[in-house]
Amino acid sequence: MIEPVEQTVRCFLGMGLADADRVRIQSCLSPLRGQPWADHVRWVAAHNWHLTLTFLGNRSSPWLAAVRADLAALSPHPAATESVMTASGLQVGCFPDAKGRIVALELQPDPSLLAIKSRLDSLLLRHGCEPETRSFRPHVTLGRFERGGHEPLPPHSFTSTLTFSRLTLFQSTPTRQGSEYQALWSLPLDGLFGVDDSGQSTT
């Protein structure tokens, strides 16, 4: 008898952007997208912008349910008003360095953001998910240069502050136009990972 193949979802944990932040980023990008090099970039649609915390790969529904339960247990009594965590913008440019094909908004590695990342990695490790070996550099992917179309891109300052209020599980679906992301579930940051009402880490 052939056993049924377990269905999995290609996914990651991250945080979506607030509408006001998307508008600010679009304003920053408008003059850049008028440059000749921009014709060689496959831009990510604004509704797909997000901050990735941990890529999970292909995971089963039972595994994801167990992770969600553990995450929810960290904040058993959510506040009536959702807390907001802030992250400072740094620059828009090639990522991870001048030779990188990714065009990204890089963020400052603020203590509250690093605390969330660290505790999330510890929780996922208990579920058999090893943390990445490379250091965490928070960023929002805005586009990717086509192969052979990369050009030097001087970094452009972006000093606005982004706000985040929920941790979200995103499903990633590859398409010819680039990956599409769908939020499967999300949890508030109230008390989650020791973030207090001011958006500061208490861990």
pLDDT value at position 195? 46
- 42 beta partners: 144
Q: Is the pLDDT of residue 20 over 70?
A: yes
- 86 beta partners: 163
Q: Is the pLDDT of residue 168 over 50?
A: yes
pLDDT digits (tens, 9 = 90+) for 106-152: 999 988 899 889 989 999 999 999 998 889 999 999 999 988 777 77
With 0.75 as the threshold, say if the pTM is over it.
yes
- If 0-12 CB within 10 Å is exposed, 13-18 middle and 19+ buried, where does residue 45 land? exposed
pLDDT value at position 109? 92
Q: Provide the pLDDT confidence category of residue 198 given band limits of 50, 70 and 90.
A: very low
Q: Is the pLDDT of residue 77 over 80?
A: no
- Tell me which residue has tokens 């944990």: 13
Which class does domain 8-194 fall in? alpha beta
Q: Provide the pLDDT confidence category of residue 78 given band limits of 50, 70 and 90.
A: low
Q: Provide the pLDDT confidence category of residue 175 given band limits of 50, 70 and 90.
A: confident
Torsional sign, CA 122, 124, 128, 132: negative
Q: Which residues are within 8 A (CB) of 35 and not within 5 positions of it... i.e. 6 or more apart? A: none
For the chain, the straight-line distance linking the first and the last C-alpha, in angstroms and rounded, comes to 51
pLDDT value at position 148? 75
- Residue type, position 32, single letter: L
Mean pLDDT score of the chain: 87
CA dist., res. 122 & res. 191, Å (int): 17
Query: What percentage of the chain exceeds 70 in pLDDT?
Result: 87
Q: Provide the pLDDT confidence category of residue 177 given band limits of 50, 70 and 90.
A: confident
68-90: b (≥16 Cβ within 10 Å) or e: beebeeebeeeeeeebbbebebb
What CA–CA distances, in Å, run from 154 to 41, 51, 60, 95, 180? 15, 22, 42, 11, 28
Half-sphere exposure of 148 (CA within 13 A, CB side): 0
Mean pLDDT, rounded, for 73-80: 66
Q: Provide the pLDDT confidence category of residue 201 given band limits of 50, 70 and 90.
A: very low
